[in-house]
Amino acid sequence: MELQDLSYYADRFGYIGIFIYFISLDQFTPIPNELSLISIGYLCSRGILNPVTAGLVCYSAFITIDLIYFFFSRTGNVWLNRMIHRKERPFLDRLTENLHDNFSRWIIILCFVPRMRFWSPVVSGLINVPTVKFIKYDAIGLFIFTLIYFSIGLFIHSGLTSFVSDQNLFVNILIIAMACLAILLLVLFYKKK
């Protein structure tokens, strides 16, 4: 999705569209949440969305989808059972052990590992973590996660604008290409892990 498409989507569907995107489409697209948050922060810096409202909508969408996965894993949802059985057993055993040993630390750490956020509510539900405990630490981790990546998007616009105005076209193209390559390599690295 290009920035113009995201801008049109945000302008057309607003905050409800952002919420629906994060609880539905985002679950099936290969685009990490980090990039989506940075893009929404960038749109806020351009005045398309209100930063406080957009940030709260993103945060509430993350909380909502995590609670859905948490309760689905507790009830033995068929779709989640298929996902769990496709994953390698040593991975799930290691994750379960880490969550048992130090739940508060690992639930917050998993918020920052791309595509691992999905597994923290699922495994938490499977090992019957108390609901209040899950909500407390998941909310803390998601708040920090949303604040960091959303802020990067907010500040990237002003930094890029001043940087780009000082450079020639070739340098700008080279920097953008290197940033895209770095993001691609990061996504591929985390997919292998």
The total of structural domains in the chain comes to 1
User: What's the Rg (C-alpha) of the chain?
Assistant: 18
Q: Note whether residue 42 is domain-resident.
A: yes
> Residue 106: CB partners within 8 Å, gap ≥ 6?
98, 99, 120
Is residue 183 classed exposed, middle or buried when 0-12, 13-18 and 19+ CB atoms within 10 A define those classes? middle
Bigger pLDDT: 36 vs 174: 36
CA distances from residue 168 to 155, 156, 165 in whole angstroms, order as listed: 22, 19, 8
In the numeric block, the tokens 């699922």 are attached to 122
- Which pLDDT score is estimated for 85? 66
Structure confidence by residue, pLDDT tens digits, 3-37: 555 566 666 778 888 888 888 877 777 777 888 88
- Whether residue 5 contacts residue 38, with contact meaning beta carbons closer than 8 Å, is answered with no
Q: Using a cut of 0.75, tell me whether the model's pTM lies above it.
A: no
**Gap between the Cα atoms of 173 and 164, Å rounded:** 10
> Residue 51: CB partners within 8 Å, gap ≥ 6?
41, 44, 45, 150, 154
Q: Note whether residue 168 is domain-resident.
A: no
Structure confidence by residue, pLDDT tens digits, 128-152: 889 999 999 999 999 999 998 888 8
Q: Note whether residue 164 is domain-resident.
A: no
**Gap between the Cα atoms of 189 and 170, Å rounded:** 28
- Provide mean pLDDT across the span 169-186: 67
Q: Note whether residue 52 is domain-resident.
A: yes
Residue 89's domain comprises 3-156
**Gap between the Cα atoms of 162 and 169, Å rounded:** 14
In the numeric block, the tokens 């020639």 are attached to 168
Q: Note whether residue 192 is domain-resident.
A: no
Q: Note whether residue 59 is domain-resident.
A: yes
Per DSSP, helices labelled H in the chain are 3-23, 33-45, 51-75, 78-86, 89-101, 103-110, 119-126, 131-166, 169-192
